[in-house]
Amino acid sequence: MELLFLGTSAGVPTRTRNMTSILLNLQQPTLSASWLFDCGEGTQHQLLKTSYHPGKLDKIFITHLHGDHLFGLPGLLCSRSMQGNPQPLTIYGPKGVREFVEVALRLSGSWTDYPLTIKEISAGEVFRDQHHIVTAWPLNHPVECYGYRIEEQDKPGALNAAALAAAGVPAGPLYQKLKQGLTVELDDGRTLNGSDYLAAATPGKKLAIFGDTAPCPAALELARGVDVMVHETTLEHAMAEKANSRGHSSTVQTAELAKQAGVGRLIVTHVSSRYDEAGCAQLLEECRRHFAATELAADFATIAV
């Protein structure tokens, strides 16, 4: 999987940082779709500066209904329709996201020419298919807010073709069934269990994308053991009390969470507009003192999971 940050600012845009939005490229051989997490104002403009097309969006996950995470959604939906893309799109988000979208489209005389599904979520599993599982975790913010944990399904181990050849099994359709772990019967009457000829499964990647939050118990379980954790770092640690009072986290609080959860890498984003380039460097340094494997996201930064 691969993350593309389309916006990394908190509250209001700056000259170098747009409002919050993250594109997840699943990079599955059989999938050409991508997912969007939050859709702050100007997200469709940011997409125009990349190689990604709104028509390829398959799902949009909204963490909460504050404007800096949501105000780009009506424009993106309408532009996607005007481009003539017929592919369906599903929006996931807290209660109220359906009303927001439907009222915005109705009052503006707009519509979508593609199937649009809106699913209002609660804590727990919100999506599952043969490739991925997505669960939502409630966070600590003034409005209903979630973080999303995205887990790839484990990949089956490689088939031991050499062992099969040694057992006198000719290459062909049977290999596909054995690759699926099925039991097959050979022409000579022998039966083979595919699991006996498979290497250990490869664990899927795990990713946690947080909405806005002050420290809370659910955060640890949301992030536990993920390869990459994306978390807000709105303010420096000296302003932790102010950050927490508004449902946000400081640098040190975010880094300590990453350490406790045993994550592989921490990507911090959602930076207050008060910080210039030097201020952002200070935020990153504060995080790294407590969790060395920290990176500060910038607009259009690409992060491999």
Active-site hit among 38, 58, 68, 299: 68
C-alpha 197: how far from chain center: 34
Element (H, E) at 73: helix 73-82
For the residues of 219-237, what is the DSSP string, one character each? HHHHHTT-SEEEEE--B-G
Is 68 considered catalytic here?
yes
Both tokens of 262, joined, read 């045993």
The length of the chain, given as a count of residues: 305
SS3 241: helix
Both tokens of 9, joined, read 């600012």
CA distance 72 to 21: 9
SS3 7: strand
Beta pairing, strands 2-7 & 302-304: antiparallel
Tokens 């899927």, residue located: 204
Strand partners, 136: 124, 148
CA distances from 235 to 14, 50, 56, 179 (A): 15, 29, 34, 50
Tokens 């398959």, residue located: 58
CA distance 23 to 37: 6
Query: CB burial class (10 A; 0-12, 13-18, 19+) of residue 120?
Result: middle
Beta pairing, strands 132-138 & 124-128: antiparallel
For the annotated catalytic residues, the residue numbers are 68
